[in-house]
Structure formats: structure tokens, C-alpha cells
Amino acid sequence: MTKIGVIGAGHLGKFHINNLKNLETVDLIGFFDIDSKRSQQISEQYDVDSFDNIEKLLKNCEAVSIVTPTITHYEIAKTALLHGLHIFCEKPFMHTLSQADEILKLAKETNRFIQVGHIERFNPALESIEHLILEPLFIECHRISPFNPRGIDVSIILDLMIHDLDIILTLVDSPIESIDTSGTPVLTDTIDIANVRIKFKNGCVANITASRVSDKQIRKIRIFQKDTYVNIDFLKKETEIFSIKNNPNIFKNEPKSIASLHIGETQEKNIYYSKNESKNTNAMLEELRSFANSIATKTEPSVNGRDGLKALQLALQIEEQIKQNLMKI
């Protein structure tokens, strides 16, 4: 069993503690939080040891899960790596690119793994299309939520949009050609709503909208490519596939014909449809299981530190471009 500790027992940290405690491959050593009152409450609620300083916790672990404000990630990750620990770090990976570069270099020098908490990679709706050969021509993303004071220490790009940026970077195997942005603060001092249009050199275009000032919650990605359209609903954990081709490389389940297209006088094409209703799995549990398995099997995590760096780099570029646009107003 892998000995893991948790640093940070806030809203998200509690879920890490609870999930790690229920992982059969993990020995949850305990946790540390700077709030002693909260530490006592969490310790009693989850029946897990609370440490009064980080050093004590690190000396008893093989790995740590860092679930603290982004600005603290660098110092905690550096300390953990110098103690010879593997790291699970919640997104955004680091506060700056230079910090991310240094942590990746240190991880390589100490021969330790880093996994970044891009949890949507473990959403069963996304995993249900792993069999598909995707060559997107257009991607549309909507990730909007009602306002929540949690997470406002960073902009909407680093808080929510970064999930979709990470996924897009895994879907499109091409350098970025151009980025057009718009966004603005609404309720906070950071950017609360943003729209980005990314054009890749292979011709694919991604249009991404993120907001935390909505009256509803939506988390969807639509992928369009020749002959096929895929609609992924991360909240419902459902995936719909529409295609004019009926073959097992596209549909895992037997599709049904839902319409016919008449093109000209002679050509007719059928539209086939299938819905993948995924099991109600716990994405956080699965990403933490993956982290523990990587350590046990000595294999690179599926969402590694380089992935975290790429998503962070794009998110910071978008954020800076929006800020520059706002200064011109």
C-alpha cells in the first residue's frame, strides 16, 4: 500500500481525504491544515490523523496530495520533492511558469512522479470515447456555473476554463496558430467570464466559454469532425455520437438510424446515433487511484506534470491577453 498524506483540508481537501481513505491501495497517513480548528473537525469527522506541521507529515509518507491555494503550491511541492515524495497537485499546477519549470526539473532530478488534478480526464463521459479516432475540425466548450466565493483567488480561466484547455490540448495534435480573447470581471477583481477562440495550425478551431456568473450550471464539449459529431456532457456523464458512418470504430453500442439526408437527386446518407450513459463513477477517486497505481507500478501518471504545465501556459497566455484588452478600454 502507498503511504499518502494530504496537505490542505478545505472544501476540496476534505474530498481528497475521504477518497484516499476509501482506496484499498492507499494507506492514508493523515493530513495537515494551517487552521487548527478545522483540522480537529476534519480529524474527528473522517477518523484520520491530523498533523500539527508539514514536516512531521512528510517524514511519514511516500507521496502527498497538495490541495491548497495555488500560490502555495510551489513551496509545498518543492519541500515534498526534497523529502523524496511523489506529488499529486491540484490544478492550476503552479502560480507561474517558472515555478512549474523548476518543480518539473526537481521531480526529474529526484526521480519522482507528479500528477496534476485535471479531474475531467477521469470523467466517464470522456473515457467512453477513448476508442474513437478523433480528428477535430471544430470544438465548442461551455463551462458555466453560478457564483461561488470558493476559487475566486484566481481568474475564471485558471479556475474553470483550464479544465477544457487541458482536454483540448489532448484532442488536437497541432501547434496553436492564433488566440482571440474577450472577458471581464463582474463580481470580483479577477476575470469572471471569458470567451476564447483558438486556431490551430492544422485548421482546427476551438471556441471556449467559461463563466462563474450564470444562473445555471453547464459543462459540455462538442466535437465536430468529418462525418461525426460528439456531444459530451460532463455533469450528466453522458456522451452522444452522431455519424453518417456505422462502424465499430465510431460506435461502441449498436447505433440506431435516426434520419436520412438527401443530397442532390441520387445521393442519400443515413445519420446514426448512439448514447453512452456512463456508470456513475467517482472521478476524484479514480484519479487518486491512478496516482497510487503509478507509484506502485513505477509508471508515468496519465496526467503528468508536463500536462499541467501545458494547460497552465495556455491559461496564463489567455489571461494576460484579456488583461491587455481590458487596459485598452
151-179 residue pLDDT tens? 677 899 999 999 999 999 999 999 999 99
What is the band of 203 on the pLDDT scale with cuts at 50, 70, 90? very high
User: Residue 150: its pLDDT value, please?
Assistant: 75
Domains of the chain and any CATH numbers: 2-120+283-302 (3.40.50.720), 122-278+315-327 (3.30.360.10)
- Residue 251 confidence (pLDDT) above 90: no
DSSP state of 57: H
> What span, in angstroms and rounded, lies between the C-alpha atoms of 218 and 210?
10
- Residue 132 confidence (pLDDT) above 80: yes
Q: What is the mean pLDDT of the chain?
A: 93
- Residue 266 confidence (pLDDT) above 70: no
Peptide bond into 149 cis (omega under 30): no
1-36 residue pLDDT tens? 999 999 999 999 999 999 999 999 999 999 999 999
Identify residue 256 by its one-letter amino acid code: K
Contacts of 67 (CB under 8 A, 6+ apart): 6, 7, 8, 9, 10, 12, 13, 16, 90
Q: What number of CA atoms fall less than 13 Å from residue 18's CA on the CB side?
A: 12
User: Residue 103: its pLDDT value, please?
Assistant: 98
Asked whether the whole model's pTM tops 0.85, one would answer yes
The alpha carbon dihedral of 222, 278, 311, 8 has a sign of positive
- Residue 278 confidence (pLDDT) above 80: no
User: Residue 265: its pLDDT value, please?
Assistant: 64
Closest CA to 91 of 154, 18, 181: 154
User: Residue 209: its pLDDT value, please?
Assistant: 98
User: Residue 247: its pLDDT value, please?
Assistant: 79
217-243 residue pLDDT tens? 999 999 999 999 999 999 999 999 999
- Residue 309 confidence (pLDDT) above 80: yes
Residue listed under C-alpha cell 526521480:
111
> What span, in angstroms and rounded, lies between the C-alpha atoms of 141 and 120?
13
State the cell numbers at 257.
438510424
Within the chain, what is the greatest distance between any pair of CA atoms? 77
102-129 residue pLDDT tens? 999 999 999 999 999 999 999 999 988 8
What is the band of 264 on the pLDDT scale with cuts at 50, 70, 90? low
